[in-house]
Amino acid sequence: MNDEKEFLGREPVGKLLLRLALPTVAAQLINMLYNIVDRMYIGHIPEIGATALTGVGVCMPLILIVSAFAALVGYGGAPRASIAMGRKDNEAAEKILGNCFTLQIIISIILTVVLLIWNRDFLMAFGASENTIDYGVSYMNIYALGTLFVEVTLGMNSFITAQGFAKTGMLSVLIGAVANIILDPVFIFGFNMDVRGAALATIISQALSCIWVVHFLCGKKTTLKIRRKNIGIQPKIVLPCLALGTSVFVMQASESVISVCFNSSLQKYGGDIAVGAMTILTSVMQFAMLPLQGLGQGAQPIISYNYGSKNVDRVRATYKLLLKVSLAYSVLLWLLIMLFPQAFAAMFTTDPELMEFTKTALRIYMAATLIFGIQIACQMTFNALGNAVESIVVAVVRKIILLIPLIYLMPMILSSDPVKAVYMAEPIADIIAVTFTAILFYFRFKKTLAKLQ
């Protein structure tokens, strides 16, 4: 590997994190636009906007599962490829890339079939009502056809970023997002396709991004290339990648389960308006989470590469900088949400009743956001170091052990206002989870670095 390709081990950490994190944060924000722009347009459809928004909101668990499978492969394989590059073993890194590419296609085909056959059953189980189910089914019938594009774009883009090509990774999602912003109003309002138009705009846009990603990874500019000889599935290659990617998969897929729990509980205590508000709350939570994940994804190649090169000082310095920046962002966002909740609600609805309801719910639901930078910085660093077990543990504790039981326990504890109690489950789980993660990370990080020395 020549000097030009060793910048991950040479450039100043601050400058390097800025160079890699800015495009990855931008990419995460742009990627978020796919679903959020859909919801913005859908929420403003005359007469049916609020009901249609709730119907599409119930689709979120399925959309999150599709993204989670992309993360399982991409976030598991990319750090291992970076570590191999740090060891100067590009051949091993390319085998990881090729195997993950094949696995991503197989998963895409299975998911497409499942979503086309059973989407109505899933949506009814996820909290859809008779008023909203038709909008959800109309959206998912079209969205399911683009599963391959979503999987390959999100999963393989991680390998572009893992090589240090952060700007290229950003362009991958920018192409699709710009197309989506343009096509959404054309299909929704111009062709009067309502939610079906939003779904069609999304899959066309993801197809454009998919073509870009595959073209780059097969081209001359990439360091790691998809080669025919590496296409296939070798258990000794894919199983360690899946083990490492499981933490991010749990984190994202559990969002789907949690969304079901929230929707069913809120439908019971607050009806359609509480479920509609939850659609907006999850959108704002995405706004909070994705830039943090973008920062972590920008730091991942630096940490993984230098871990592979046994450069302890650069690994430690990168983590400390990641923690500071992540915490600063989460505190700033928390302040904005607490001060201007109505501004966030207005992005998704013009319905006065839904806006007023969401304003109060948002302050409760996002109350612990200010400390969440700690959780993401620690979890993404575990992932970058290849600490699969620790990554899985912190993901499972926050989402499954804490949050899901709290969604059902809180209304029993605060029976005078059960809807408020359901929303309170999120900040309580976050405070406990962040404390646990910080303590675990403190001891495991020291031990991991001591092994290198």
Decide if pLDDT at 360 tops 80. yes
Q: Please report whether residue 2 resides in a domain.
A: no
- Whether the per-residue pLDDT at 7 is higher than 80: the answer is no
User: Is 3 within the bounds of a domain?
Assistant: no
Task: Please answer whether residues 202 and 145 qualify as being in contact, where contact means their C-beta atoms are separated by less than 8 angstroms.
Answer: no
Give pLDDT, residue 116.
Answer: 94
Domain that holds residue 173: 10-452
- Identify the residue with better confidence: 101 or 279: 101
Residue 92 confidence (pLDDT): 95
Nearest CA to 423 out of 301, 311, 262, 282 is that of: 262
pLDDT, residue 4, reads 44
State how far the Cα of 361 lies from the Cα of 195, in Å rounded to an integer: 26
Residue 273 inside a domain? The answer is yes
Tell whether the model's pLDDT for residue 348 goes beyond 90: no
User: For 303, what's the count of Cα atoms within 13 Å in the CB-facing half-sphere?
Assistant: 31
Asked whether the beta carbons of 162 and 300 are under 8 A apart, the reply is yes
∠ CA 386-282-383 to the nearest 5 degrees?
5
d(CA 282, CA 28): 15
- Any idea which of 107-111, 201-205, 255-259, 407-411 has the lowest mean pLDDT? 255-259
Check: CB of residue 382 under 8 Å from CB of residue 441: yes
Three-point CA angle 413, 419, 422, nearest 5°: 60
In a domain, 88, yes or no: yes
Does 392 have pLDDT greater than 90?
Answer: no
Does the pLDDT of residue 2 top 60, yes or no?
no
**Does the residue 4 lie in any domain?**
no
The C-alpha atoms of residue 278 and residue 270 are separated, in whole angstroms, by 11
Report residue 12 as tokens: 């100043």
Interacting residues of 341 by C-beta distance below 8 A, sequence separation 6+: 358, 359, 360, 362, 363
pLDDT of the residue at 1: 42
d(CA 203, CA 116): 15
Overall number of domains in the chain: 1
CB contact at 8 A, 337 and 362? yes
DSSP letters spanning 135-192: HHHHHHHHHGGGHHHHHHHHHHHHHHHHTT-HHHHHHHHHHHHHHHHHHHHIIIIIS-
pLDDT in tens, 217-258: 999 999 999 999 999 999 999 999 999 998 888 877 877 788
Quote the CA–CA distance of 24 and 85 in Å, as a whole number: 20
Block residue for tokens 């570590």? 83
- Decide if 5 is inside a domain: no
Tokens 């950490």 belong to 13
Report for 92-96, 343-347, 383-387: range of highest mean pLDDT: 92-96
pLDDT digits (tens, 9 = 90+) for 393-413: 988 898 889 999 999 999 999
Half-sphere exposure of 312 (CA within 13 A, CB side): 9
**Cα→Cα distances 14→8, 17, 331, 445, Å:** 12, 5, 21, 20
166 found inside a domain: yes
Tell me the two tokens of residue 240: 């360690």
Q: Lowest-confidence range among 15-19, 128-132, 417-421, 438-442?
A: 128-132
pLDDT band at 3 (very low <50, low <70, confident <90, very high): very low
1 inside domain? no
What is the pLDDT at residue 33?
67
Provide the percentage of residues in the chain whose pLDDT is more than 70.
97
pLDDT at position 352, please?
Answer: 84
Average pLDDT, the chain: 88
Q: Mark 320-341 as b/e (b = at least 16 C-beta within 10 Å).
A: ebbbebbbebbeebbeebeeeb
What pLDDT is recorded for position 449? 87
pTM: 0.76
